[in-house]
Amino acid sequence: MLEVITDAGPGWPENIDWAALAERAVRAALSQTPDGELIAKPVCVEVSIKLSDDAEIQQLNAAYRGKDRPTNVLSFPMIQPDLLPGIANTDDGEVLLGDIILACETCAREAGERGIALADHATHLIVHGTLHLLGHDHEDDGEAEAMEALEIGALETLGLPDPYGDRGHCDARPIDETGI
């Protein structure tokens, strides 16, 4: 079972069902990994998503990553990836996979620069953040290529295009540094 808790702060358009979008994005990301089986088990897997602003995400980015500037998405895993296969045996039947936070102004600016809808860009960033919660990373070209393939597959299940198609190759620059 999957529970996605979404908190959309000021600035995020109210005409979009952010909770439904976030749940679809998390499910799509999970579906691309072996960890997707978790939501079929008798355990509640919870992901928390906060749609915030540049000021808050800049504070978090400075505190946790030593980078005093806003970024588009941050992920905070609550469980080590190597422990994921055993989480169905928790005492209370609930597992907090982690938190994902997005910055409205940065996401809106990036979406505008790419000529895509804010909802589509946010979907990509939630997929990306979910993969980080599952232990995927992009520290080197091999990791980046593997993670991007998962993102592309997840977005394809949602009917969204390859966000990396214009690059023609993968590189190890993180999504929050390239703004993708």
Q: How does pLDDT run across 58-80, given as a tens digit for each residue?
A: 999 999 999 999 999 999 999 88
Q: What is the pLDDT of residues 114-160, one digit of tens each?
A: 999 999 999 999 999 999 999 999 989 999 999 999 999 999 999 99
Is residue 176 predicted with pLDDT exceeding 60? no
Domains belonging to the chain, first-starting first, are 2-178 (3.40.390.30)
Alpha-carbon span 114 to 8, nearest angstrom: 23
Give the Å distances, CA to CA, from 8 to 47, 54, 150, 180: 14, 14, 26, 21
The pLDDT of residue 175 is 55
Q: Which two tokens stand for residue 151?
A: 């993102």
CB atoms within 10 A of CB 137: 14
Lowest mean pLDDT across 16-25, 35-44, 79-88: 79-88
Alpha-carbon span 3 to 27, nearest angstrom: 10
Which burial class, exposed, middle or buried, applies to 131 when counting CB atoms under 10 A from its CB (0-12, 13-18, 19+)? buried
**Residue 146 amino acid letter:** A
